[in-house]
């Protein structure tokens, strides 16, 4: 899904554009899905691709929505991110290229050993 900046600036709020297109991060504990535990599916706020299930969401006490796995591996890709002097793995929507957050190895996550730390701004929610 190749779209130019003008398209994304018209479609997204300024905060969504900053996070999804410019790889920003929302401030912790400010996102609408940080403490959201309704049943349903989290989708990409830019293109609507299915990303995470509420069944895989948990409270990591970090200020961002946290998941232990993605819903559809075909809808995300992982990119090495060495910005800000850190070695991380960025989680990106495969359909539109939107920045979602990062994934970390975390042995406290007993189910998968993975902690997906995702920006609320990058998500929409479809209630079951």
Decide if 64 contacts 122 (C-beta within 8 A): no
| Residue 96 annotated in active site | no
Task: Give the catalytic positions in this structure.
Answer: 117
């Amino acid at each position: 899904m190749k779209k130019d900046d003008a398209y994304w600036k018209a479609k997204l709020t300024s905060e969504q554009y900053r996070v999804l297109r410019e790889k920003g991060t929302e401030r912790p504990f400010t996102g609408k899905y940080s403490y959201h535990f309704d049943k349903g599916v989290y989708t990409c706020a830019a293109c609507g691709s299915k990303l995470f299930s509420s069944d895989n969401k948990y409270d990591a006490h970090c200020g961002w929505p946290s998941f232990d796995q993605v819903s559809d591996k075909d809808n995300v890709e992982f990119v090495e991110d060495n910005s800000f002097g850190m070695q991380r793995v960025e989680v990106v929507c495969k359909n539109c290229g939107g920045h979602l957050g990062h994934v970390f190895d975390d042995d406290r996550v007993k189910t998968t050993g993975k902690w997906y730390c995702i920006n609320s701004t990058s998500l929409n929610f479809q209630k079951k």
